[in-house]
Amino acid sequence: MDSCLGVEQDLDKATSKFNALNEHTNKVLEEIISQVEDLKNEISKQPPDSPLTQAQAMILSDLAANVKQTVFQMSTEHRELHATVSRVGKSIDRHFIIDYASVAPKAESFSSDTNRPIMEQAIAQHLYRQGLEEVGDVFVSEAGVTCVERTCAFALLQRCASALAAGDPAPALAWAQRRAHQLTHSPLPFALHTVQTLKVGREQGVGAAIEYARQQFPAHAARHERQLAAAVCALAWLTPGAGNPPPQYQRLLDPRALGSEAAELFVREACALLRLAPLSPLAGAAGAGARVLPALHDIRNKMCHMAKRSLPCKSCIERCSEAAELFVREACALLRLAPLSPLAGAAGAGARVLPALHDIRNKMCQQHVAAAWADDELPLEVELGAEGGGYHSVFACPILRQQASEQNPPMRLLCGHVISRDALNKLAMGVKLKCPYCPMEQSPSEARQIYFS
For position 448, what pLDDT does the model report?
92
pLDDT digits (tens, 9 = 90+) for 317-368: 565 667 677 777 777 777 777 777 777 777 777 777 777 777 777 766 655 5
Q: 443 Cβ partners below 8 Å, 6+ apart?
A: 431, 432, 433
Mean pLDDT estimate for the chain: 79
The secondary structure of residue 420, as a DSSP letter, is E
Other CB atoms within 10 Å distance of the CB of residue 6: 15
| HSE-CB of 105 using CA atoms within 13 angstroms | 12
pLDDT tens, 393-440? 578 898 888 888 888 899 999 999 999 999 988 888 777 888 888 988
Pairing relationship of beta strands 410-412 and 418-420 according to DSSP bridges? antiparallel
Report the C-alpha gap between 391 and 27 in whole angstroms.
Answer: 61
Output the pLDDT for position 370: 59
Q: How far apart are CA 72 and CA 251, in angstroms?
A: 50
Phi-psi region of 244 (alpha: psi -120 to 50; beta: other; left: phi over 0): beta
Q: Tens digit of pLDDT for each residue in 201-229?
A: 888 888 888 898 888 888 888 888 888 88
- Say if residue 314's pLDDT is above 50: no
What band does 315 get if pLDDT is binned at 50, 70 and 90?
Answer: very low
Architecture of domain 394-453: 2-Layer Sandwich (3.30)
Q: What is the pLDDT of residue 345?
A: 77
Q: How confident is the model at residue 275 (pLDDT cuts 50, 70, 90)?
A: confident
Question: Is the pTM value of this prediction over 0.75?
Answer: no
**Inter-axis angle of helices 170-178 and 188-204, nearest 10:** 140
What is residue 417's predicted lDDT score, i.e. its pLDDT? 92
In whole angstroms, what is the distance from residue 441 CA to residue 432 CA?
7
Taking the C-alpha atoms of 284, 286, 291 and 292 in order, what is their torsion angle to the nearest 10 degrees?
Answer: 110
CB-CB contact of 364 with 373 (8 Å): yes
* φ, ψ dihedrals at 341, nearest 5°: -75, 160
- pLDDT tier at 124, thresholds 50, 70, 90: confident
Residue 163's alpha-carbon distances to 76, 141, 356, in angstroms, are 52, 29, 38
Phi, psi torsion values for 104, nearest 5 degrees: -130, 60
pLDDT tens for 36-57 read: 888 888 778 777 777 777 777 8
Contact 450, 419 (CB under 8 A): no
